Amino acid sequence: MVATIKGVNYIKGKWHCNQCETTKQRHFYKYYTDVFKKTIVYCRKCIALGRMDNHNDIMITATEHCKSDANYKLSFHLTPQQQYASQRIVDALLCHQSLLLYAVTGSGKTEMIFEAIHRARKDGLNVAVVSPRIDVVVELSLRIQTAFESEMIDVLYKGQRQLYNGHFVIATIHQLMRFKRHFDFVIIDEVDAFPLSMDNDLISVVRAASTTQCCTVYMTATPSNRFINQFPKDQIIKLPARFHQHILPIPTFKYYKIYPYKKQLYFLKLLKRQLALKRYTLVFFHQIDIMETMYHIYKQYIAGLTYVHSQDALRLEKISELRKGKYNVIFTTTILERGFTMSHLDVIVIDSHKFKASALIQIAGRVGRKSDSPKGLVLYLHQGISVSMLKAKSEIKQMNTLARLRGWVND
């Protein structure tokens, strides 16, 4: 069944966009047209996704439910910590309850949701696994499609078409705008990441795409205290250990002033040492212009060097080639602070005193994620130790201590 409604409606004294769900009046623009002899109101917030206005109708397709076997395979057994979290998520699904999964980077959060997805799809529930970041969606889709190889999964982000019926979706938050009251089980990975952390309207998009009895699981390694306080204690799962049961690598601080317009011997030796050790290295920058300037200086000395940032049209190709071992060193912004996993990987942060604690924790979390390479270098180069640096290091140590107390690590 298909229903038609206006793209923008006037409800209770406010304009409302039926695509992005915004009711903030500053997002709407009005003009009079002689063609239709009326005032047209359209939403500017989501216009890049297709114009919504009070003149043209849009079609809403009624939600359907369809059962599937949703069998999945894992090449390993879940750890006691993962089994505990997996069962808690299944219980939340059955009770239509929301959860916060507060788990360290590399804990295997993705695998913890598999059993609940299996149960949901067997019961015919519509499932969405979403993230604010395209890079995280790509990483999630690789792992989930490998596990659920017989499922028809729609992977939706900018430039990707919907191929199936939307019963099982992996997508960016923005892509949920095409669904209304459709999903019964929603998992939001990296819930604190930009732009979701900066745009409350995106949470409204999630709510509009969800049914009234939807179970929502929020996952992150770096929730803010404000976000944690939104949940009762019995709806928070805190997991301090990685799936391979090795402790998190501890950051090292080193005072070092970067001069981006000239070659610096220490930095060059540092990168060449990484090559000699046959390690892959992510070098994080706070500013794109400084990163690009330094890339052009060091590319003649470092084999297999490239750079990537959010405006880079080739970023997905470069990241894919990095995973295949084409590049040894990659200069990057925080777009790779989340959702990137690779063996034998180290990280260096330039001007770490300029980063937030959550970003520094996520960056450190790129190291040691694989069981064949559980340790590595986390180096914060700074021009004065910041509160954020101290907070990041302290939180990593606290998680290691908690993991030892619970007996969930082997070292």
**Mean pLDDT (10-residue bins), the chain, 411 residues:** 81 92 94 93 89 89 88 90 96 96 94 97 96 90 95 91 92 89 94 74 86 95 92 95 94 97 96 96 97 96 93 87 91 91 95 97 96 95 98 97 91 73
Angle between helices 387-405 and 357-364 (to 10 degrees): 50
Using DSSP's 3-state secondary structure scheme, residue 193 falls into coil
DSSP state, residue 311: T
116 contacts: CB under 8 Å, gap ≥ 6: 86, 89, 90, 92, 93, 185, 217
CA distance 200 to 393: 29
Task: Quote the pLDDT of residue 2.
Answer: 57
201 contacts: CB under 8 Å, gap ≥ 6: 20, 21, 22, 24, 45
207 contacts: CB under 8 Å, gap ≥ 6: 21
Q: Is the dihedral of CA 112, 115, 121, 123 positive or negative?
A: negative
Task: Quote the pLDDT of residue 319.
Answer: 87
Token output for 170: 């992996």
CA distance 104 to 402: 11
Strand partners, 210: 183
Task: Quote the pLDDT of residue 135.
Answer: 85
Task: Quote the pLDDT of residue 411.
Answer: 73
105 contacts: CB under 8 Å, gap ≥ 6: 221, 242, 248, 361, 362, 364, 365, 366, 369
CA distance 141 to 157: 11
Token output for 367: 């190291």
Choose among 142, 13, 108: nearest CA to 371.
Answer: 108
Strand partners, 255: 382
